[in-house]
Structure 1
């Protein structure tokens, strides 16, 4: 029995709460990509939905709970994707949503948060500064603060991806998951270790934002002074202790990859799948590029977690 905050029965029940448009996302083989990487590759596509990421799986649970409690207001900090998801799910249930984000966040993400009707407050500094401001707003207004990864609903919503992987017809031996705050990694990892314990769960993070990976290896929280990566969606500096405990229980490994590999992964996914994805979604491909021998001949699933990217920046990256 895995000792985590997550529960398999609740994860199964989550599928009845999450809007079906966010469920049963495509998973398919990509032979061209596999030939270039030297292994069999399936991609799990989490971008083909109204918020272009997996995050709504969790916000659907959170907002359903809040609406059931008669709550009317909610606030979160976001690097961009959570804010869009909370805006979408909150508007659907009549909640007033406030999102705090860094001014440095991609403009495309900020514009979509506003378009979904959320109140957007920008702060100078990085995501961790946004987290502090969101907590202040929650205290000042007496409203619910949604904390990605700390709120178990965000993890169990993401964990429904794991149910879909476990129920897939294709067999695989490795899953590569982008690692930021840890909601997707702990959620998917928990389900796979519960249902398919032989599958290796590998988490991937940029060298420029290594806090959770270092923490996993040290088995204690390691913080960093700054981040330096184009993968803004996973660029946290302060791992949450409870989330790290869950990650230690379900992940087989956590690896770091360089910016050049992330960019190469984005380019390969464009060329071989026709998909425009954000840097965080290319981390799995980057991991294979940096350690081809490890993955040679294996059957890998990589979760493409988001497609919210500034197109000008994207074009600069993939044209290098």
Structure 2
């Protein structure tokens, strides 16, 4: 078992804390998508829940812990999905949640956070500016700062996906995981390496936001001056050293994909699986599109991690002319 910050006993115990509606999500073979990609593809669907992403697996642990400690408030920076999930989990437990987001975040995500009734502060700049504002709020008010990927609950909550995949590990030989801050990649990767070590763990990130992948390749933190990708959920610029240390122990590979491949992946998931997804959720399909020989004839799982997307943007991206100028 790899030596990381994560713990298998805690991950198993997390299933007793997370609301069952977020657990045991569908895993199914999508034959039409597999035929189009030249391999067997199974989909792990993490979007059929009230927050339309996997993030609540982690925020359920965070909110439960705060409630048990008698704490009443928390703040987080979010590109959208974490904030919605924390607001949902916190509201159920009577917590006062504040979310800080960049003005660049998709409007649909911000609207859904507001609809929960939690406090939303929108700042100029990118996610890193939002994160600094969240730090300031936490320090000023003396409340819990929830940091995705750094807070072990977010990783171990995501790791429950890995527990579920491990039960079916005989049916696939690789899993494709969207890579941003690293909570899902380290969590799922850890559970699989502990319980199904023969499964290849492949992380996928956009070329326009390559910080964590570059860091994984160089085995040291590499930051970037900017991030330019439609996959806002994975557009961080400053990898967290402790998370990178974990990722180095559980990931077999980390690859970068082009924006055009992400868009094509979104369209293929709509056409062949009937799924409307946000760009981050199409990264696994994009990886197969860009390296078909590597995956030909293999049995893959791709995790559909989120479906929170502005419909106007989505329609613009997936129309046929959006790729390669057609």
Q: How does 1:287-302 map to 2 (within 5 A)?
A: 287-302=287-302
Is 1:244 aligned to 2:215, yes or no?
no
Structure 1 equivalent of residue 307 of structure 2: 307
Report if the CA contact (8 A) 2:177-2:185 is conserved: yes
Q: How does 1:1-320 map to 2 (within 5 A)?
A: 1-168=1-168, 171-319=171-319, 320=322
Q: Which runs of 5+ in 1 are unaligned?
A: none
Report if the CA contact (8 A) 2:175-2:201 is conserved: yes
Aligned length: 320
SS in 2 for 1:44: strand
Taking structure 2 as the reference length, what is the TM-score of the superposition? 0.97
- How far apart, CA to CA, are the structure 2 residues paired with 1:284 and 1:65? 32
Q: Which runs of 5+ in 2 are unaligned?
A: none
Report if the CA contact (8 A) 2:169-2:196 is conserved: no
Taking structure 1 as the reference length, what is the TM-score of the superposition? 0.99
For residues 6-38 of structure 1, the C-alpha deviation after alignment (integer angstroms, 9 at most, x for no partner) is 000000000000000000000100001001101
Report if the CA contact (8 A) 2:43-2:302 is conserved: yes
- How far apart, CA to CA, are the structure 2 residues paired with 1:216 and 1:170? 28
- How far apart, CA to CA, are the structure 2 residues paired with 1:250 and 1:172? 17
- How far apart, CA to CA, are the structure 1 residues paired with 2:112 and 2:118? 9
- How far apart, CA to CA, are the structure 2 residues paired with 1:179 and 1:293? 22
- How far apart, CA to CA, are the structure 1 residues paired with 2:107 and 2:170? 38
Shift of residue 3, structure 1, vs aligned partner: 1.0
SS in 2 for 1:135: helix
For residues 85-120 of structure 1, the C-alpha deviation after alignment (integer angstroms, 9 at most, x for no partner) is 000000000000000000010000000011112100
- How far apart, CA to CA, are the structure 2 residues paired with 1:57 and 1:77? 17
Report if the CA contact (8 A) 2:169-2:199 is conserved: no
Shift of residue 170, structure 1, vs aligned partner: 5.5
- How far apart, CA to CA, are the structure 2 residues paired with 1:191 and 1:219? 21
Shift of residue 161, structure 1, vs aligned partner: 0.2
SS in 2 for 1:42: strand
SS in 2 for 1:52: coil
Report if the CA contact (8 A) 2:77-2:83 is conserved: yes
- How far apart, CA to CA, are the structure 2 residues paired with 1:115 and 1:90? 14
- How far apart, CA to CA, are the structure 1 residues paired with 2:2 and 2:104? 38
Shift of residue 169, structure 1, vs aligned partner: 7.1
- How far apart, CA to CA, are the structure 1 residues paired with 2:245 and 2:93? 32
- How far apart, CA to CA, are the structure 1 residues paired with 2:70 and 2:198? 43
